């Protein structure tokens, strides 16, 4: 028997060969896609990991003869792309105060020792032995230093690194004493400027008698080296028309003003307070004691700071008076250039026992860093043993026009490429960048249900294409057997 075998021109495809080739292309494609699924599943518990999604395309077709002419048949499939899916992962709580996550778009910025920048979604940061905020690879987190004067970020992007772990002291600049003075109280220190006349700094343990005043407040202020001192203010009725007098004093033994003498030790200032028939504070005056008994009247038009009179204690005793510290005295009323305007709250004169409504002073002593926190705006704040809170740094975040163009480096790190575009760096929560979620880490966004569904689908496709290879191989074997 004579068997005729059809010869194909060199520019024509052998359908039998091409069938196996198409199946093999699919097997190759599916192998890569299964590998991608396997990688996603292996990173289901990796913080900050973003799952990858694979897509496939059909290969160019070739021409075959048909009864009606010609037709096109495909050559199989190929892997089109593997891209990152930057969907938000869920948040898991973290015990470390330096752990943080991004709620929304963006990446944290870190730099290696050579100054190269990388980008990551993993916020598992900590301070190293040098005081630098670093990730697990030791790359330093980037941000801005906070200007202590303005509370705003300053300068260019830099390493977040603590150079000091203490809070320097700050001298007090304002003392607020809001009181109610009993409208039906008696005048104890009778006569003009009675309180200053009965003060005697030569008796430091009892410079004024208990029966010489109506009411006393005591507040602590701090000097420039952080030491605290008591400021005592004494009040007494000065007349039946709503006038009260006061004196501002410190412990006579702590009074280091140049030239302070005898009974004037500890006596810093005196003045009057005026109340109207409704008990509101409508005016006040002040005179400063130079330490030698000379009284210097203060002019509201020239001698006020922020609408308040100031007194000037000196606890350190520089001979030139350089350590005298101006402290504003706020009774709850501010001079606006024409009148004294009561604030809320303000000192009052009501027919009720004299008492303190509010007493406070700024300033603080030196303190050591106790703890830190991170706000939703990425601001890192330090809390110190002196009760002070300081904003230290703000963490930077970056976005990209095409985040899928980033180069994936492993270790949850990405690098900028020409395809990704330049990093758009800014504060968290601004310019489309997500805010910070403190004390949390972002979980992987891998969905196991979706991955297993893809795995089953790819498995079925893989088995089907293996069957194609098997059938094609059997047919070729049959043809060879017939020929032989």
pLDDT per residue of the chain (484 residues) written in tens, 0 to 9: 444 444 444 445 565 667 778 888 888 888 899 999 999 999 999 999 999 999 888 888 777 777 787 877 777 788 888 999 999 999 999 999 999 999 999 999 999 999 999 999 999 999 999 999 999 999 999 999 999 889 899 999 999 999 888 888 999 999 999 999 999 999 998 888 999 999 999 999 999 999 999 999 999 999 999 999 999 999 999 988 899 999 999 999 999 998 899 999 999 999 999 999 999 999 999 999 999 999 999 999 999 999 999 999 999 998 777 899 999 999 999 999 999 999 999 999 999 999 999 999 999 999 999 999 999 999 999 999 988 899 999 999 999 999 999 999 999 999 999 999 999 999 999 999 999 999 999 999 999 999 999 999 988 988 888 888 888 777 777 778 888 7
> What is residue 391's DSSP assignment?
E
C-alpha to C-alpha distance for 403 and 417, rounded to whole angstroms: 10
Residue 14's pLDDT is what?
60
The burial class, CB within 10 Å (0-12 / 13-18 / 19+), for 281 is: buried
Residue 11's pLDDT is what?
46
Contact present, 443 and 92 (Cβ < 8 Å): yes
In the chain the domains, ranked by start, together with CATH numbers, are: 15-87+445-483 (no CATH), 91-167+368-442 (no CATH), 174-361 (2.60.98.20)
Peptide bond into 345 cis (omega under 30): yes
Residue 481's pLDDT is what?
81
DSSP-assigned states of every residue in 224-289: TTS-EEEEEEEEEE--TTSEEEEEEEE-GGG---TT--GGGTTEEEEEEEEE-TTSBEEEE--EEE
Residue with the two structure tokens 């606006």: 336
Read off the pTM: 0.72
Residue 16's pLDDT is what?
60
Phi, psi torsion values for 262, nearest 5 degrees:
40, -125
Residue 131's pLDDT is what?
94
Residue with the two structure tokens 């330096």: 98
Residue 22's pLDDT is what?
82
Angle between helix 448-483 and helix 15-42 axes, rounded to 10 deg: 160
C-alpha to C-alpha distance for 316 and 314, rounded to whole angstroms: 6
DSSP-assigned states of every residue in 279-293: SBEEEE--EEE-SSS
Reduced to 3 states, what is the DSSP secondary structure of residue 118? strand
263 alpha carbon, distance to own chain's centre:
52
Residue 26's pLDDT is what?
83
């Amino acid at each position: 028997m004579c068997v005729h075998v059809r010869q194909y021109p060199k520019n024509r495809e052998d359908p039998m060969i091409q069938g196996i080739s198409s199946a093999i292309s699919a097997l190759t494609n599916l192998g890569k896609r299964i590998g991608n699924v396997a990688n996603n599943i292996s990173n289901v518990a990796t913080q900050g990991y973003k799952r990858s999604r694979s897509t496939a395309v059909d290969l160019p077709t070739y021409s075959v003869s048909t009864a009606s002419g010609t037709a096109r048949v495909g050559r199989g499939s190929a892997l089109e792309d593997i891209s990152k899916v930057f969907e938000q992962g869920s948040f898991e709580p973290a015990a470390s105060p330096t752990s943080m996550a991004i709620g929304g778009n963006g990446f944290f910025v870190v730099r290696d020792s050579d100054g190269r920048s990388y980008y990551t979604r993993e916020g598992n940061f900590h301070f190293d032995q040098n005081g630098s905020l670093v990730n697990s690879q030791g790359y330093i987190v980037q941000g801005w230093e906070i200007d202590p004067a303005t509370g705003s970020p300053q300068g260019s992007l830099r390493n977040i690194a603590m150079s000091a772990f203490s809070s320097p002291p700050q001298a007090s600049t304002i003392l607020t004493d809001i009181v109610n003075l009993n409208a039906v109280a008696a005048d104890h220190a009778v006569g003009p400027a009675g309180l200053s006349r009965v003060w005697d700094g030569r008796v430091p343990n009892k410079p004024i008698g208990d029966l010489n005043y109506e009411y006393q407040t005591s507040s602590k202020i701090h000097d420039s080296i952080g030491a605290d001192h008591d400021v005592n203010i004494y009040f007494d009725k000065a007349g039946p028309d709503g006038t009260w007098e006061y004196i501002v004093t410190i412990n006579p033994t702590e009074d280091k003003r140049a030239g302070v003498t005898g009974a004037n030790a500890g006596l810093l200032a005196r003045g009057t307070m005026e109340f109207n028939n409704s008990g509101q504070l409508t005016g006040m005056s002040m005179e400063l004691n130079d330490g030698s008994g000379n009284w210097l009247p203060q002019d509201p038009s020239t001698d006020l700071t922020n609408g308040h009179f100031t007194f000037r204690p000196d606890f350190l005793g520089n001979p030139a008076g350089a350590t005298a510290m101006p402290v504003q005295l706020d009774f709850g009323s501010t001079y606006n250039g024409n009148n004294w305007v009561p604030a809320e709250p303000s000192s009052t004169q009501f027919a009720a026992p004299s008492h303190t409504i509010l007493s406070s002073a700024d300033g603080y002593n030196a303190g050591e860093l106790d703890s830190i926190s991170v706000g939703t705006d990425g601001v890192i704040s330090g809390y110190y043993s002196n009760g002070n809170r300081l904003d230290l740094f703000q963490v930077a975040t970056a976005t990209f026009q095409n985040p899928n163009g980033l180069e994936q480096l492993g270790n949850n790190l990405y690098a900028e490429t020409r395809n990704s575009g330049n990093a758009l760096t800014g504060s968290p929560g601004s310019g489309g960048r997500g805010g910070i979620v403190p004390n949390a880490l972002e979980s992987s966004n891998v969905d196991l249900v979706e991955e297993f569904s893809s795995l089953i689908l790819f498995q079925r496709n893989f088995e089907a294409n293996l069957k194609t290879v098997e059938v094609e191989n059997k047919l070729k074997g049959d043809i060879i057997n017939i020929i032989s």
